[in-house]
């Protein structure tokens, strides 16, 4: 019987494997070190976990292979064929810089160097009319040269091709004829949307990644198959769904950023299990924290993102805000005497001072040790932290320069870190028109549960959820996804001129394409869910807002009203007298993967004893003797009041004074924040 | 210093970061709701001020050119409305003579009240697409006084206790070419200032009014303290240089000097502009506010990590002779203030490159604006169109790094280039070329970044005129430490009817054009850093393979001889022996090239024996690039600086 579901999240340091037994709903987790070839780490982990692959019904995977290939530029030689006169669109970009003031900090170079960007004569105008058909002699000449250069992939990027892709298609045919087997991405197929740099940049990333990810997925697929796995390998993409290797061939760049989405998906799922449709995910690791937001059961989606500044990948992506604050972030004093926290980090090596590997500067982890919030024996005794070194670092780095007691200094370090993370949460919530009081905070990652309650209090978030395995929550995210593809078409018209019939036809076109792709991936039509939306704006505005669209679209007026409402919610004003225009038609196509339910645990009514008690500082001035629980000993239904500390293999949960915690039937700890909070 | 001592370190750090977050939230909101495409492409800024109008925080991504001007306009608004300000009020101002930049930059300012007391102001500043005046976009190069330029807004009330003053707003909007967008931007900006208010009131709720007020002062003291420490750590001394505007259209041939002398004394910096030319007969003048901003922005480039606020502005002083090109008074036209602005910035780059050599940088290309407006005859109703474009170019070579290719002008590194596909939808224009321009970079051991060429053809249009705002057709982008200049700026128009190419140069206004006419605009590369003969031949080779540098100029500028073995597969080889010989030869002859009679260079240029790059880079001669006639005064000025910046750096 195939009753196992396996999800693998490969990160820089660890490969996490999450195994779920469909019959019991029980989950277990295997953590191994990542390897140079990620596939080795995965197979080692599978073996260590004792997984019989022939019993696996679903194997899903979040991978950093695409992201790393882009960042390290370990890409196969990729060429670009451009409209004559537009060889440098991806180099000119939008010409801006990430760091406005530092003249010695540059935007990284484009994925295809100038020498491999060739041009042909052709032109389409803004309305889609052919100004010049493709010059086929030139096209063949270019193909011949690229063949001589042995390029491994080609991106065809022509001006206004989103309006008319005929010249691009012809170019692709010629390339495939002259250099069969070399993957060719055209901008009109990859992303039929206006604005050349964004479209070309996405197309180039797609072309360059195609050989990389196809090689990777086919090697992994084979290894899994050899060991008995019979189904399709499923790959997590940034949109928050999975796709099969068949789709990866054509949309390789959807895997860029794959890993980041996993945490956001898990966070949303866990919050819903606990009854919260609105949630903010706080995934705090060693060097950084990822913040995500789900509202009414939907993750926030953005098309405005990149792996490296200047090179947008305009596929729908779950919106994740990353800031440089983690357990290893350094606390330091700048020249003008201000206490700072991050973004520099001691990383995993040498790590915090208490790791005793040579770093003497205090980190958030050291401050947590000094305050007693973090114990000195972690991971079931496998890791021992040196409390004296932590104290020394905090004393020398912060306490002495500011004339503070060491505990006050440690408290100051943590409060600055929490304030920085709270600012990040504000950016993704309050400044998008969401009120944190309507949300639950899901705190995970190795360090999230140490800080979650304090951040929630700062933001007046009423509840904090700590999942059962906070350190491997992202892997769980890979396990909980559906097949998903996103489609779009430009539709540039004023609402007054918009034609409901034409819009309906466009939706039907996209739905046809979506159904075909999902069928190709083996999804039964009964499992297909289609979500329509239209990007709209006030006439004259430059950014659009997505508004859900009905099926069928019969009238424009309700769409316009929905847009006014959404504008009011997000920006706090609406302009009813102003004409509205339509920008883009979007379709999200989901192939539902039947979900197994997580195991439920009946309340036992038992009251576990703390394994120990220790002094913990929750404020700068005094310590409180605090019970320390072992998480594995906490049964469902157990309710306890702060102060308390809960220790587990991969994390430590801080339950501050004035809060109440409860273990729910899925063994999540839900901390209710009480008392006066500051919005 | 004293204020911060009263705040605990955590509260101080939290407030400092929260102030910056509050202005970043304003920026986020304005980007998502604005109407002006200029704002959308990031020509805007946001600030939080203390109750006196001093800047406490500015946005991380704000355009450079607004730096150091927001506190002036806030203070002017306070002067105008003191004693008559109420919660829910929003004021507007765009007055360059009161510390603003130019008319297009309209600032909306909101007082933030706690229990009837003002504790702060929030300000949102954005470049509106049009403010009336004689040409679309409100940039009339021919203007000598402000009356032709656009609408001057001295402090006005746009919201009165929360009520929108429709009458005033419509008066303003009705004097522009795009009234609907102007009203839209007023709402977007007013709303953004409210976002900041909300954040400040949240902080007051949490920390109390006194602490927040204290924090607003303490963050300024903090930046001042950090800056003073860094300046005090530098040796005292005096440094001076000059840069030029091409010409005074109302005066004789000869470039217009802007002189800068920096004195560092203890923990203070004094910038003295004595000796700079009086205001000129065009819009290329700067009022004091803009000059102040140029100094702040130039200097900030060498201290990139510090947050920006009034504490930074307190460490330097400016001496600007009244009525000079850096201190224009009403009603002298100043809409083109960015021309002197960038000259000041680059002069400051040059000076600070001597003081902090590890951050040295040569001159960047000159910003350029193209304005075309008329009737779009593609549609039957022939609507008005405004095609308003700006291009990126090359930045200066650096100490150990080439300059940045194709980057936004230094006055506003946050500004984005526009997508051609968007422009072609909105305007009757077809772009035929928008590419990196080979050989545009100033040669150097570390070359400048490359500029671009953009060529566009007018489609069906009627009553259409074209204006161009640029400079450095003569005051050509220069190198330092032995690096060479890049190339002249200037637009070429090719008439469809006659096929004739007209060199219109870097500055012109209101030239009529017709369907089928083609205009080409190059932007210069950055100036070179260090002697180009010392450039690693392998780097020259890579540049040739990528076509940043041609085989011909690799030899002329770098003395590197490259054999194109099989260009199809990128196979090129360096001829090491010929390279050594050529470099020896250039070394021995180049001082002589600088002494060649400029009249002879003019003749050779006219005869087609040499091109503009030869004239500029080898002979430091400035010509009328259309006729080839010699410009003797400009040449003398240019040669003088070339000797100091380039020749003095050769072994």
Q: For A393, left (φ over 0), alpha (ψ -120 to 50), or beta?
A: alpha
Out of B18, B40, B191, the one facing A573 most closely (by C-beta) is B191
Tokens of A224: 């899994």
Three-class SS state of A593: coil
Q: What percent of chain A has pLDDT over 70?
A: 99
Q: Is the pLDDT of residue A380 over 80?
A: no
| Spatial contact of A678 and B205, defined as CB atoms under 8 Å apart | yes
In this structure, what is the dihedral angle of CA atoms B289, B290, B292, B294, given to the nearest 10 degrees?
Answer: 170
Mean pLDDT within B225-250: 96
Pairing of strands B55-58, B501-505: unpaired
Phi first, then psi: what are they for B257, rounded to 5°? Answer: -75, 140
| Spatial contact of A549 and A532, defined as CB atoms under 8 Å apart | yes
Q: Is the pLDDT of residue B2 over 50?
A: no
In this structure, what is the dihedral angle of CA atoms A570, A575, A576, A579, given to the nearest 10 degrees?
Answer: -100
- Which residues are registered as beta bridge partners of B263? B238, B270
Tokens of A561: 């009203």
* Confidence tier at B298 by pLDDT (50, 70, 90): very high
Nearest CA in chain A to B391: A95
* Residue B630 pLDDT: 98
Q: B 396-415 residues with CB below 8 A of A?
A: 398, 401, 404-408, 413-415
Domain coordinates of chain B in residue numbers? Answer: 2-226, 360-530
In this structure, what is the dihedral angle of CA atoms B300, B304, B310, B314, given to the nearest 10 degrees?
Answer: -50
- Within 8 A of A148 by CB-CB distance, chain B residues are 568-569
| Spatial contact of B614 and B487, defined as CB atoms under 8 Å apart | no
* Number of neighbouring beta carbons within 10 Å of residue A226: 10
> What would the pLDDT profile of A577-611 be if each residue is shown by its tens digit?
889 999 899 999 999 887 777 889 999 889 999 99
Interhelix angle A258-273/A65-72, nearest 10 degrees: 140
DSSP code string of A141-190: HHHHHHHHTT-SEEEEE-TTTTT--HHHHHHHHHHHHHSTTS-EEEHHHH
Contacts of B288 (CB under 8 A, 6+ apart): B99, B318, B320, B326, B327
Kindly determine whether residue B547 and residue A115, on different chains, have CB atoms separated by under 8 Å: yes
- Closest alpha carbon to B140 in B466, B473, B456, B493: B466
Kindly determine whether residue B16 and residue A107, on different chains, have CB atoms separated by under 8 Å: no
Measured CA distances, A602 to A24, A224, A667, B316 (Å): 14, 36, 10, 70
Kindly determine whether residue B401 and residue A104, on different chains, have CB atoms separated by under 8 Å: yes
* Confidence tier at B3 by pLDDT (50, 70, 90): very low
Q: Is the pLDDT of residue A118 over 70?
A: yes
Kindly determine whether residue B568 and residue A106, on different chains, have CB atoms separated by under 8 Å: no
Nearest CA in chain A to B31: A543
Phi first, then psi: what are they for A245, rounded to 5°? Answer: -55, -25
Q: Can you tell me the distance from the alpha carbon of B490 to that of B507, in angstroms, rounded to the nearest whole number?
A: 8
Instruction: Give buried/exposed letters for A89-103 (b at 16+ CB in 10 A, else e).
Output: bbbbbbbbbbbbbeb
Instruction: Output Rg (C-alpha) for chain A, integer angstroms.
Output: 26
Q: Is the pLDDT of residue A21 over 60?
A: yes
Nearest CA in chain B to A197: B419
> What would the pLDDT profile of B367-422 be if each residue is shown by its tens digit?
999 999 899 999 899 988 888 899 999 999 999 999 999 999 999 888 899 999 99
Residue count of chain A, please give it. Answer: 679
Inform me whether the C-beta atom of residue B619 falls under 8 Å from chain A C-beta atoms. Answer: no
* Residue B34 pLDDT: 87
Kindly determine whether residue B407 and residue A97, on different chains, have CB atoms separated by under 8 Å: yes
> What would the pLDDT profile of B325-368 be if each residue is shown by its tens digit?
999 999 999 999 999 999 999 999 999 999 999 999 999 999 99
Kindly determine whether residue A92 and residue B406, on different chains, have CB atoms separated by under 8 Å: yes
Q: In what order do the strands lie in the sheet containing B461-469? A: B384-390, B369-376, B461-469, B507-513
- Within 8 A of B215 by CB-CB distance, chain A residues are none
Mean pLDDT within B552-558: 98
* Residue A678 pLDDT: 40
Residue count of chain B, please give it. Answer: 651
Q: Is the pLDDT of residue B143 over 50?
A: yes
Kindly determine whether residue B37 and residue A542, on different chains, have CB atoms separated by under 8 Å: yes
Measure A149 CA to nearest chain B CA, in Å: 6
- Within 8 A of A312 by CB-CB distance, chain B residues are none
Superfamily in which the A1-59 domain is placed by CATH: ATPase, nucleotide binding domain (3.30.420.40)
> What would the pLDDT profile of A150-166 be if each residue is shown by its tens digit?
999 999 999 999 999 99
Mean pLDDT within B285-313: 94
Contacts of B480 (CB under 8 A, 6+ apart): B350, B353, B360, B362, B363, B396, B527, B529, B645, B646, B649
Tokens of B410: 């230094």
Q: Does the global pTM surpass 0.90?
A: yes
- Alpha helices, H only, A323-464: 364-370, 387-394, 400-402, 406-428, 445-459
> What would the pLDDT profile of B409-418 be if each residue is shown by its tens digit?
999 888 899 9
> What would the pLDDT profile of A461-480 be if each residue is shown by its tens digit?
999 999 998 988 888 888 88
Tokens of B229: 């420490």
Q: Can you tell me the distance from the alpha carbon of A375 to that of A612, in angstroms, rounded to the nearest whole number?
A: 11
* Residue A675 pLDDT: 56
| Spatial contact of B69 and B286, defined as CB atoms under 8 Å apart | no
Kindly determine whether residue B452 and residue A92, on different chains, have CB atoms separated by under 8 Å: yes
Domain coordinates of chain A in residue numbers? Answer: 1-59, 74-207, 483-591, 612-673
Phi first, then psi: what are they for B596, rounded to 5°? Answer: -55, 140
- Within 8 A of B546 by CB-CB distance, chain A residues are 113-115
Inform me whether the C-beta atom of residue B71 falls under 8 Å from chain A C-beta atoms. Answer: no
Q: Supply the ipTM of this predicted assembly.
A: 0.95
In a mutational test of the A interface, the residue from B22, B303, B420, B550 whose CB has the highest number of chain A CBs within 10 Å is: B420
Q: Can you tell me the distance from the alpha carbon of B78 to that of A647, in angstroms, rounded to the nearest whole number?
A: 57
Q: Can you tell me the distance from the alpha carbon of B398 to that of B587, in angstroms, rounded to the nearest whole number?
A: 22
Measure A57 CA to nearest chain B CA, in Å: 44
Interhelix angle B9-33/A406-428, nearest 10 degrees: 10
Q: Can you tell me the distance from the alpha carbon of B84 to that of B79, in angstroms, rounded to the nearest whole number?
A: 10
Kindly determine whether residue B28 and residue A427, on different chains, have CB atoms separated by under 8 Å: yes
* Residue A115 pLDDT: 98
What CATH code is assigned to A483-591?
3.30.1490
Kindly determine whether residue B401 and residue A541, on different chains, have CB atoms separated by under 8 Å: no
Measure A127 CA to nearest chain B CA, in Å: 7
Mean pLDDT within A551-576: 90
Nearest CA in chain B to A411: B10
* Residue A10 pLDDT: 85
Out of A94, A102, A415, the one facing B304 most closely (by C-beta) is A102
Measure A101 CA to nearest chain B CA, in Å: 5
Kindly determine whether residue B420 and residue A679, on different chains, have CB atoms separated by under 8 Å: no
Measure A366 CA to nearest chain B CA, in Å: 17
What CATH code is assigned to A74-207?
3.40.50
Q: Can you tell me the distance from the alpha carbon of B149 to that of B334, in angstroms, rounded to the nearest whole number?
A: 9
Out of B34, B40, B416, the one facing A96 most closely (by C-beta) is B416
**DSSP character at residue A231:** S
- Closest alpha carbon to A252 in A208, A199, A294, A289: A208
Contacts of A233 (CB under 8 A, 6+ apart): A59, A60, A61, A217, A220, A221, A224, A244, A245
* Confidence tier at B96 by pLDDT (50, 70, 90): very high
Mean pLDDT within B437-442: 98
Q: Can you tell me the distance from the alpha carbon of A625 to that of A616, in angstroms, rounded to the nearest whole number?
A: 6
| Spatial contact of B372 and B466, defined as CB atoms under 8 Å apart | yes
Kindly determine whether residue B225 and residue A336, on different chains, have CB atoms separated by under 8 Å: yes
Average pLDDT value over all residues in chain A: 92
């Amino acid at each position: 019987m195939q009753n196992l579901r396996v999800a693998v999240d490969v990160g820089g340091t660890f490969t996490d494997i999450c195994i779920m037994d469909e019959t019991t709903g029980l989950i277990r987790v295997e953590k191994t070190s990542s390897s140079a070839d990620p596939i080795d780490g995965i197979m080692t982990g599978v073996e260590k976990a004792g997984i019989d692959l022939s019993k696996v019904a679903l194997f899903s995977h979040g991978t950093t292979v695409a992201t790393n290939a882009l960042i390290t530029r370990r890409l196969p030689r990729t060429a670009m064929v451009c409209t004559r006169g537009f060889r440098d669109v991806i180099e000119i970009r939008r010409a801006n810089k990430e760091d406005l003031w530092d003249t010695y900090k540059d935007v990284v170079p484009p994925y295809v160097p100038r020498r491999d960007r060739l041009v042909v004569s052709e032109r389409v105008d803004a309305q889609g009319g052919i100004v010049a058909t493709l010059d086929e002699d030139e096209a063949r000449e270019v193909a011949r040269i690229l063949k001589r250069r042995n390029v491994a992939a080609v991106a065809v990027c022509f001006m206004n091709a989103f309006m008319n892709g005929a010249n691009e298609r012809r170019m692709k045919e010629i390339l495939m004829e002259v250099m069969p087997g070399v993957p060719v991405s055209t901008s009109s197929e990859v992303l039929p949307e206006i604005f050349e740099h964004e479209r070309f940049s996405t197309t180039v990333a797609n072309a360059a990644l195609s050989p990389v990810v196809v090689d990777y997925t086919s090697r992994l697929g084979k290894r899994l198959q050899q060991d008995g796995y019979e189904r399709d390998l499923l790959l997590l993409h940034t949109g928050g769904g999975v796709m099969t290797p068949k789709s990866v061939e054509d949309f390789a760049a959807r895997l860029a950023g794959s890993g980041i989405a996993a945490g956001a998906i898990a966070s949303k799922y866990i919050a819903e299990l606990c009854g919260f449709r609105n949630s903010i995910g706080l995934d705090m690791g060693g060097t950084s924290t990822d913040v995500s937001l789900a509202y009414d059961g939907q993750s926030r989606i953005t098309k405005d993102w990149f792996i490296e500044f200047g090179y947008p990948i305009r596929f729908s992506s779950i919106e994740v805000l990353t800031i440089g604050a983690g357990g290893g972030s350094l606390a330091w004093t700048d020249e003008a005497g201000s206490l700072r926290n991050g973004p520099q980090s001691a990383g995993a090596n040498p790590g915090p001072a208490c790791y005793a590997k040579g770093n003497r500067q205090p980190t958030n982890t050291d401050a947590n040790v000094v305050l007693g919030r973090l114990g000195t024996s972690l991971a079931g005794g496998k890791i021992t932290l040196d409390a004296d070194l932590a104290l020394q670092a905090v004393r020398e780095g912060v306490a002495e320069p500011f004339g503070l007691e060491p505990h006050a200094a440690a408290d100051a370090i943590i409060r600055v870190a929490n304030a920085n993370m709270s600012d990040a949460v504000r950016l993704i919530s309050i400044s998008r028109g969401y009120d944190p009081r309507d949300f639950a905070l899901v705190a995970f990652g190795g360090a999230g549960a140490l800080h979650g309650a304090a951040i929630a209090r700062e933001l007046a978030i009423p509840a904090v959820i700590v999942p059962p395995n906070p350190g491997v929550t992202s892997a769980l995210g890979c396990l909980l996804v559906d097949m998903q593809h996103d489609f779009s078409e430009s539709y540039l018209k004023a609402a007054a001129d918009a034609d409901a019939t034409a819009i309906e036809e466009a939706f039907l076109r996209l739905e046809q394409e979506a159904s075909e792709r999902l069928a190709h991936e083996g999804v039964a039509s009964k499992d297909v869910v289609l979500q329509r939306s239209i990007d709209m704006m006030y006439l004259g505005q430059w950014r659009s807002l997505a508004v859900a669209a009905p099926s069928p679209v019969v009238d424009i007026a309700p769409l316009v009203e929905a847009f006014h409402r959404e504008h009011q919610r997000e920006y706090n004003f609406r302009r009813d007298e102003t004409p509205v225009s339509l920008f883009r038609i979007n379709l999200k196509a989901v192939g539902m993967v039947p979900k197994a339910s997580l195991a439920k645990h009946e309340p036992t009514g038992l009251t576990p004893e703390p394994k120990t008690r220790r002094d913990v500082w929750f404020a700068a001035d005094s310590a409180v003797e605090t019970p320390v629980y072992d998480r594995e000993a906490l049964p469902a239904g157990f309710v306890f009041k702060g102060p308390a500390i809960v220790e587990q293999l991969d994390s430590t949960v801080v339950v501050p004074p004035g809060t109440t915690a409860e273990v729910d039937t899925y063994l999540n700890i839900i901390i209710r924040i009480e008392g006066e909070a500051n919005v | 210093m004293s204020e911060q001592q009263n705040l605990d370190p955590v509260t101080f750090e939290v407030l400092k970061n929260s102030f910056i977050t509050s202005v970043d939230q304003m920026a986020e909101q304005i980007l998502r709701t604005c109407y002006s495409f200029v704002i959308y492409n990031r020509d805007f800024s946001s600030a939080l001020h203390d109750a006196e109008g001093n800047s406490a925080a500015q946005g991380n991504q704000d355009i450079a050119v607004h730096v150091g001007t927001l506190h002036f306009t806030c203070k002017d608004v306070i002067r105008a409305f003191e004693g008559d300000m109420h919660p829910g009020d929003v004021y507007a101002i765009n007055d360059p003579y009161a510390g603003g930049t130019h008319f297009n930059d309209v600032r909306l300012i909101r007082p933030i009240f706690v229990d009837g007391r003002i504790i702060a102001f929030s300000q949102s500043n954005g470049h509106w697409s049009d403010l009336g005046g004689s040409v679309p976009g409100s940039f009339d190069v021919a203007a000598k006084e402000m009356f032709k330029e656009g609408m001057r807004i001295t402090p006005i009330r746009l919201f009165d206790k929360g009520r929108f003053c429709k009458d005033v707003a419509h008066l303003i909007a009705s004097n522009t070419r795009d009234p609907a967008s102007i009203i839209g931007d007023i709402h977007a900006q007013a709303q953004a200032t409210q976002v900041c208010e909300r954040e400040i009131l949240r902080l007051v709720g949490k920390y109390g009014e006194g602490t927040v007020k204290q924090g607003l002062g303490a963050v300024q003291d903090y930046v001042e303290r950090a800056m003073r420490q860094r300046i005090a750590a530098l040796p005292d001394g005096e440094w001076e240089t000059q840069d030029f505007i091409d010409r005074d259209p109302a005066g004789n041939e000869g470039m217009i000097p802007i002189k800068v002398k920096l004195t560092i004394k203890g923990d203070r910096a004094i910038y003295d502009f004595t000796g700079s030319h009086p205001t000129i007969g065009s819009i290329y003048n700067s009022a004091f506010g803009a000059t102040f901003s140029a100094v702040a922005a130039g200097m900030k480039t060498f201290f990139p990590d510090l947050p920006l606020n009034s504490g930074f502005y307190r460490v330097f002083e400016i001496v600007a002779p009244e009525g000079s090109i850096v201190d224009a008074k009403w009603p002298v036209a100043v809409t083109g203030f960015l021309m002197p602005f960038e000259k000041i910035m680059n002069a400051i780059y040059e000076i600070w490159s001597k003081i902090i050599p590890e951050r040295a940088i040569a001159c960047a290309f000159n910003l350029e604006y193209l304005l075309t407006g008329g009737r779009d005859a593609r549609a039957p109703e022939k609507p008005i169109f405004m095609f308003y474009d700006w291009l990126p170019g090359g930045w200066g070579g650096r100490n150990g790094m080439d300059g940045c290719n194709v980057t936004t002008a230094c006055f506003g590194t946050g500004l984005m280039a526009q997508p051609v596909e968007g422009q072609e939808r909105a305007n009757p224009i077809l772009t035929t070329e928008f590419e990196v321009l080979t050989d545009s970079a100033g040669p150097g051991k570390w070359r400048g970044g490359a500029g671009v060429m953009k060529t566009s053809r007018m489609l069906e249009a009627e009553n259409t005129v074209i204006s161009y705002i640029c400079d450095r057709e003569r005051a050509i982008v220069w190198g330092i430490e032995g690096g060479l200049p890049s190339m002249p700026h200037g637009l070429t128009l090719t008439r469809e009817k006659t096929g004739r190419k007209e060199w219109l140069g870097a500055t012109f206004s209101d030239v009529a054009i017709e369907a089928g006419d083609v205009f080409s605009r190059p932007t210069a590369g950055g100036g070179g850093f260090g002697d180009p003969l010392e450039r690693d031949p392998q780097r020259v080779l890579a540049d040739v393979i990528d076509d940043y540098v041609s085989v011909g100029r690799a030899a002329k500028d770098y003395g590197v001889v490259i054999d194109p073995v099989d260009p199809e597969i990128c196979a090129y080889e360096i001829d090491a022996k010929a390279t050594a010989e050529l470099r020896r030869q250039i070394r021995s002859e180049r001082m002589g090239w600088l002494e060649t009679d400029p009249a002879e260079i003019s003749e050779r240029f006219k005869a087609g024996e040499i091109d503009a790059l030869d004239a500029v880079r080898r002979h430091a001669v400035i010509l009328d690039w259309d006729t080839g006639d010699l410009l003797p005064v400009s040449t003398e000025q240019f040669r003088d600086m070339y000797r100091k910046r380039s020749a003095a750096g050769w072994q």
